[in-house]
Amino acid sequence: MDKYECIYLKENMSSVVGKMAASTRSQVLFLYRLLMKESSKFPSYNYRTYALRRVRDAFRANQNIEDPKTVQQLVKQGMDTLDIIRRQVGYTPTHRVHEGE
Amino acid sequence: MWSKTVTTKILGYMRGFPKQRMNYGQSVVSVVEREVIKSRELEKDELRPLYMDFQATTPMDPRVLDAMLPYQVNYYGNPHSRTHAYGWESESAMEKARKQVADLIAADPREIVFTSGATESNNMSIKGVARFYKAKKKHVITTQTEHKCVLDSCRVLEAEGFDITYLPVKTNGLVDLQLLEETIRPDTSLVSVMTVNNEIGVRQPVEEIGRICRSRNVFFHTDAAQAVGKIPVNVSEWKVDLMSISGHKIYGPKGVGALYVRRRPRVRMEPLQNGGGQERGLRSGTVPTPLAVGLGAACEIAQQELEYDHTRVSMLSKRLVQKIMSEIPDVVMNGDPNERYPGCINLSFAYVEGESLLMALKDVALSSGSACTSASLEPSYVLRAIGTDEDLAHSSIRFGIGRFSTEAEVDFTAEKCIQQVKRLREMSPLWEMVQEGIDLKSIKWTQH
């Protein structure tokens, strides 16, 4: 997953969602895979397992939603979360905090 | 010649020692070294003990940090500056955060005052209300199991000539409502009872207390630092007049909290801090925008995740208790078994010294009581207040489960705990005597 894929996804998401069920499905699955992939990059064990678990459970809880408007809204939320995860995964303090241990 | 320089540079860089950097000496950390430090850091992180002390504090949620970061660097304006855009953007962020906090407890944003934490909120409400009404009302009621900051504020008031009643609690940790009603006098100005206890996790009957206080025309303050964001909180249904909220107990930043002050019927109080008149004059001093934004974000996330988190924490807590209880006998759960927040479990392991168990469980970050008093070896005053025997009070451990706890961590903690309790009991002469059928209470211990 690189930056261009993400931009592509962002540009296409709004136009695709709600048009065709099959393509919405593939977009949602794509978003799911992206979220899982990015979540697995958290260096901290607890954050990583939480993110993976939460993404999985959220998609599972909403898997039967049919209303295209709700789906679109949820996809938007997922995109925002993806942005947050990408930013926070990148934030890894590399400096030493506890000197002289 | 040009290409040669570029090639050497690239080659040098790939080897990790770029040529020009070498000239600066050792002060420049090369890419390779930085990578080594990073991997060492991560390695060290993985070797740290498991965190099972979510009542002391919680790690910040990455979503909260994400909301805060822009206000630490780009939007640094003083939220009280009215003359430029820097101030306006900070102000709107602060007001948004205020609304997020208010929404979580079903209050009006104008009723929220940002403070530095639950300790300040508690100090403000207890001292502030009591001092404002001191001309007519000189009595304050609290319970023996409150947090230290409430008890200490009451001690200060006592020194100022107020009359304080420290209500005893029942053996399950709950307040006796009838006793409370009988204790309220015509000159009682305030009742302060915490919602969820920080050491034993019991949830007080706040709705009933609120109803009693309202009918007797007494202000009701509740310290909800351990409750907000973990159980549904509604200030109108509970008839609460003042409520303390802490940021770092709900996956928010440390150093920020909030106080809910009811507007109708209005609660009047004397401010502790005087100055610029921020926060309606109740708490002067510049509101730390990034921290307030963090608290707001934490509250919003807590509201969204309340059900999910609660289900998960209940599941994990049940798993832990069942695992421990099924493997070792003579384990007592302190506090009411039903009226509680499941994420705070206080267990007493009979015939085992709590501190030595904590030492043995060095792979898990646990505590025998509240963090404030964890430096002293004295048994917890909360456990003494609920009438726990001295020996059981000495052998208690608090397990805190939160949003980021995993099944694997719970299982590991339970296994280690079982193993160490068994080991310590095997060494214990008391345990041996109990196994032989000697009643320890009947023994006369003489000093030599």
Domains observed in chain B: 2-38 (no CATH), 62-301 (3.40.640.10), 305-442 (3.90.1150.10)
The H or E element containing residue A22 is helix A21-39
CA-to-CA distance for B245 and B117, rounded, in angstroms? 7
Q: Report pLDDT for B30.
A: 63
The H or E element containing residue B346 is strand B344-349
- Domain range for A29 is 3-88
Q: Does the pLDDT of residue A6 top 60, yes or no?
A: no
Q: Does the pLDDT of residue A29 top 80, yes or no?
A: yes
SS3 of B334, please? coil
Q: How far is B408 from chain A (nearest CA, A)?
A: 11
H helical segments located in A40-90:
45-61, 68-90
DSSP B305: H
Q: Do B46 and A45 touch (CB under 8 A)?
A: yes
| Residue in A closest to B403 by C-alpha | A50
Q: Find the CB nearest B66 among A46, A84, A92.
A: A84
Q: Which residue has the tokens 């241990």?
A: A101
C-alpha to C-alpha distances, B145 to B229, B249, B308, B434, nearest whole angstrom: 22, 19, 29, 31
Interchain CB contacts (distance < 8 Å): A and B: 39
- Determine what percent of chain A is predicted with pLDDT higher than 90: 54
Pick the more confident residue, A8 or B394.
B394
Quote the tokens at residue B82: 């009215």
Is residue A93 in some structural domain?
A: no
CA-to-CA distance for B14 and B434, rounded, in angstroms? 69
CA-to-CA distance for B329 and A88, rounded, in angstroms? 45
Is residue A99 in some structural domain?
A: no
| Residue in B closest to A98 by C-alpha | B41
Q: Which residue has the tokens 């440390």?
A: B254
Q: Report pLDDT for B376.
A: 75
Q: Does the pLDDT of residue A12 top 80, yes or no?
A: no
Q: Report pLDDT for B1.
A: 47
pLDDT tens for each residue of A87-98: 998 776 666 666
Is residue A98 in some structural domain?
A: no
Identify the bridge partners of residue B175 per DSSP, sorted by sequence position. B169
Suggest the residue from A38, A42, A45 to mutate for an interface test with chain B (most B CBs closer than 10 A). Answer: A45
**CA dihedral sign, ordered B86, B88, B89, B93:** positive
Q: In chain B, what residues touch A49 (CB-CB under 8 Å)? A: 404, 406
Q: Do B34 and A94 touch (CB under 8 A)?
A: yes
CA-to-CA distance for B90 and B293, rounded, in angstroms? 9
CA-to-CA distance for B439 and B443, rounded, in angstroms? 7
Q: How far is A59 from chain B (nearest CA, A)?
A: 13
Suggest the residue from B41, B73, B300 to mutate for an interface test with chain A (most A CBs closer than 10 A). Answer: B41
Single-letter amino acid, residue B112: I
Catalytic residues of B: 372
pLDDT tens for each residue of A35-66: 999 999 998 899 999 999 999 999 999 999 99
The H or E element containing residue B393 is helix B390-394
CA-to-CA distance for B446 and B86, rounded, in angstroms? 73
pLDDT tens for each residue of chain B, 448 residues long = 455 555 555 544 444 444 444 444 444 456 666 666 555 555 555 578 999 999 999 999 999 999 999 999 999 999 999 999 999 999 999 999 999 999 999 999 999 999 999 999 999 999 999 999 999 999 999 999 999 999 999 999 999 999 999 999 999 999 999 999 999 999 999 999 999 999 999 999 999 999 999 999 999 999 999 999 999 999 999 999 999 999 999 999 999 999 999 999 999 999 999 999 999 999 999 999 999 999 999 999 999 999 999 999 999 999 999 999 999 999 999 999 999 999 999 999 999 988 899 999 999 999 987 777 777 777 889 999 999 888 888 899 999 999 999 999 999 999 999 999 999 999 988 888 888 888 877 777 776 6
Number of folded domains that form chain A: 1
Q: Report pLDDT for A20.
A: 46
| ipTM of this complex prediction, to 2 decimal places | 0.84
